[in-house]
């Protein structure tokens, strides 16, 4: 991949700042204009600004999923795919590729900063409808969205510019601090810790609908930093938030009900932490179906490697082959009229849904459970990590003290009736189980924007770039391409996307 250069990163930030600080930033809904002079007078202005950030996430997430799928081993281009998609898949992408424009992440950051800098005045001007508790909860939601954007930008590009909350002019954007990935991760920890809800207080937390769980994000950041104690702490607390029965991977979406998570993510309150809604009828189109559905453009399809992994799973009792409840018919399916052509179906499961209106999930319970299992495994607690992976803490006769409220937990594989994973004799238990957890994340979270970052995280942790290189190279059927990509991705510098020029 082309090397990043500071000037191109700065140009991206300046362009983002120019766009985000235009009057368009104050669009609460499509076609509904609000001028800056009229803004931040009362609670409704705050909520409309928050909705504006959700619109920016609508811009980011489809492309985020496409990048993740093509750079990793989940998605491959169809015969009709345009050249820009093929170059992403083959890791020959250049700086001019329109899919790698990361300015949308910066738009979220600029927009969140703008709202954050104006929240306190609303507490004074609309005390009846916007009190200090609401303000604290909104602050946490905005800081978490901003942190999510920074995290994913720096994971994709390797470096990022820090945008001050009071960035008043484009000239100020010329003197920004550029930080590397590890520096950014530590800064995000410092940003998130002060806004966390105090779990020991008696003050109820106000949940901002569609906001990212700050503890889930913080736990993932600690995993990136290889701080497994704090990763376990915050990921466990994330699963215990907003009611003890929620986010426990229980029987609510077991077996054939698993697909209901994606039919109505916003209604799947026991599984989905946060999802971004789309509505074609309201002018908010989710373009993923254009790429995935066979009757539309159909430029991207599931990789053979991923489908083979689904098909290699065994149901409980080892009598039925295949991941019946998550694989074929759910995450992917056969193109009608064909026996050997497949399409990605995860975003088109509801036969009654309006086309282009599927919501996109940001975090959900099984995602956080598997991150938690990853932290537990690296902390030497393979037994508990296996329990979360397999049949769940709810099956234990005696639960660990920190997990005493987890009686409804069925396990990630358990709820879809798959045979449990075990660690054979004579292997490195930590590495073996980590491999199995990564396999499970691929199966559970396919096409949800997670895989590329999982591969990078584990390869760095092991100080072994070949881990990522080999996983990605294995998706190619052409040995020459597999060898070239494997060699290239054996250098960590080649993992990162070039910034646009």
401: which residues sit within 8 A by CB, 6+ positions away?
none
**What's the pTM?**
0.92
291 DSSP assignment: H
- pLDDT band with cut points at 50, 70 and 90 for residue 85: very high
Tell me which of 413 and 1 has the higher pLDDT.
413
Helix (H, G, I), strand (E, B) or coil at 300: strand
Question: Once rounded to an integer, what is the mean pLDDT over residues 386-403?
Answer: 93
- Per DSSP, the chain holds a count of helices (H) and strands (E) of 18, 8
For 334-375, the pLDDT digits (tens) are 998 888 899 999 999 999 999 999 999 999 999 999 999 999
CA distances to 251, 383, 387 from 421, in Å: 20, 11, 9
Look at residue 31 in the predicted model and tell me its pLDDT: 35
What are the start and end residues of each CATH 1.25.40.390 domain in the chain? 1-199+466-501, 212-462
CA distance 257 to 310: 18
Tokens of 186: 């530590």
Task: Identify whether the C-beta of residue 409 lies closer than 8 Å to the C-beta of residue 248.
Answer: yes
Look at residue 30 in the predicted model and tell me its pLDDT: 34
Question: Once rounded to an integer, what is the mean pLDDT over residues 413-425?
Answer: 97
Place of tokens 């996307």: 497
Count of residues in the chain: 501
Look at residue 35 in the predicted model and tell me its pLDDT: 45
Task: Identify whether the C-beta of residue 157 lies closer than 8 Å to the C-beta of residue 499.
Answer: yes
CA distance 429 to 368: 22
Pairing of strands 342-344, 360-364: unpaired
Residue 29 has pLDDT above 50, yes or no: no
Residue 493 has pLDDT above 70, yes or no: yes
What DSSP string runs through 32-81?
A: B---GGG-SSSHHHHHHHHHHHHHHHHHHHHHHHHHHHHHTTSEEE-TT-
Longest dimension (CA), the chain: 69
What are the backbone angles phi and psi of residue 333, rounded to the nearest 5°? -155, 170
Q: Quick one: angle between helices 43-71 and 451-461, nearest 10?
A: 70
CA distance 407 to 245: 9
CA distance 48 to 219: 29
Place of tokens 């950041």: 221
- pLDDT band with cut points at 50, 70 and 90 for residue 176: confident
Look at residue 198 in the predicted model and tell me its pLDDT: 78
For 211-236, the pLDDT digits (tens) are 999 999 999 999 999 999 999 999 99
Question: Once rounded to an integer, what is the mean pLDDT over residues 283-296?
Answer: 95
Task: Give Rg (Cα) of the chain.
Answer: 22
Q: Quick one: angle between helices 479-489 and 465-473, nearest 10?
A: 160
Task: Identify whether the C-beta of residue 95 lies closer than 8 Å to the C-beta of residue 4.
Answer: no
Query: Buried b vs exposed e over 342-372: b needs ≥16 C-beta within 10 Å?
Result: bbbbbbbbeeebeebbbbbbbbbbbbbbbbb
CA atoms within 13 A of residue 423's CA, in its CB half-sphere: 20
Residue 24 has pLDDT above 50, yes or no: no
Average pLDDT, the chain: 90
Question: Once rounded to an integer, what is the mean pLDDT over residues 68-87?
Answer: 97
Domain 212-462: which topology?
A: 1.25.40
CATH, domain 1-199+466-501, list 1.10.510.10, 3.30.413.10, 3.40.50.970, 1.25.40.390: 1.25.40.390
């Amino acid at each position: 991949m082309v090397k990043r250069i500071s000037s191109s990163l700065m140009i991206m930030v300046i362009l983002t700042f120019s766009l985000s600080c235009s009057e368009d930033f104050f669009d609460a809904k499509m076609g509904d204009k609000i001028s800056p002079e009229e803004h931040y007078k009362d609670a409704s202005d705050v909520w409309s600004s928050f909705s504006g950030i959700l619109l920016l996430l609508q811009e980011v997430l489809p492309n985020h999923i496409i990048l993740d799928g093509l750079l990793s081993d989940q998605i491959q281009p169809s015969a009709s795919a345009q050249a820009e998609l093929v170059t992403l898949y083959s890791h020959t992408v250049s700086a001019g590729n329109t899919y790698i424009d990361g300015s949308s992440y910066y738009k979220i950051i600029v927009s969140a900063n703008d709202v954050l800098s104006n929240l306190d005045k609303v507490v004074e001007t609309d005390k009846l409808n916007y009190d200090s508790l609401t303000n604290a909860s909104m602050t946490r939601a905005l800081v978490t969205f901003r942190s999510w954007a920074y995290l994913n930008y720096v994971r994709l590009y390797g470096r990022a510019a820090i945008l001050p909350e009071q960035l008043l002019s484009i000239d100020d954007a010329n003197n920004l601090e550029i930080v590397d990935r590890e520096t950014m991760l530590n800064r995000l920890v410092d940003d998130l810790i002060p806004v966390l809800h105090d779990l020991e207080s008696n003050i109820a937390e106000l949940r901002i609908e569609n906001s990212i769980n700050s503890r889930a994000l913080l736990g993932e950041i600690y995993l990136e930093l290889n701080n497994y104690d704090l990763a376990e702490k915050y990921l466990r607390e994330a699963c215990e938030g907003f009611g003890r029965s929620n986010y426990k991977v229980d029987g609510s979406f077991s077996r054939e009900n698993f697909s209901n998570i994606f039919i109505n993510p916003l209604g799947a309150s026991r599984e989905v932490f946060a999802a971004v809604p789309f509505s074609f009828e309201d002018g908010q189109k989710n373009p993923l179906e254009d790429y995935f559905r066979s009757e539309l453009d159909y430029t991207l399809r599931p990789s053979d490697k991923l489908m083979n992994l689904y098909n290699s799973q065994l149901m409980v009792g080892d009598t039925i082959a295949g991941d019946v409840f998550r694989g074929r018919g759910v995450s992917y399916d056969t193109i009608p009229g064909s026996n050997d052509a497949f399409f990605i179906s995860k975003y088109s499961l509801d036969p009654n849904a309006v086309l282009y209106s599927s919501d996109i999930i940001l975090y959900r319970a099984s995602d956080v459970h598997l991150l938690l299992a990853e932290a537990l495994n690296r902390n030497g607690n393979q037994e508990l990590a296996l329990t979360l992976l397999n049949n769940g803490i709810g099956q234990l006769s005696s639960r660990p003290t920190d997990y005493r409220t987890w009686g409804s937990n069925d396990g990630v594989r358990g709820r879809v009736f798959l045979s449990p994973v075990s660690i054979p004799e004579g292997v490195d238990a930590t590495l073996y189980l980590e491999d199995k957890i990564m396999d499970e994340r691929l199966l559970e979270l396919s096409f949800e924007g997670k895989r590329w970052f999982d591969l990078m995280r584990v390869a760095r942790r092991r100080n072994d770039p070949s881990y990522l290189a080999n996983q990605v190279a294995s998706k190619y059927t052409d040995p020459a391409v597999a060898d070239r990509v494997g060699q290239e991705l054996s250098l960590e510098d080649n993992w990162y996307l070039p910034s646009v020029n």
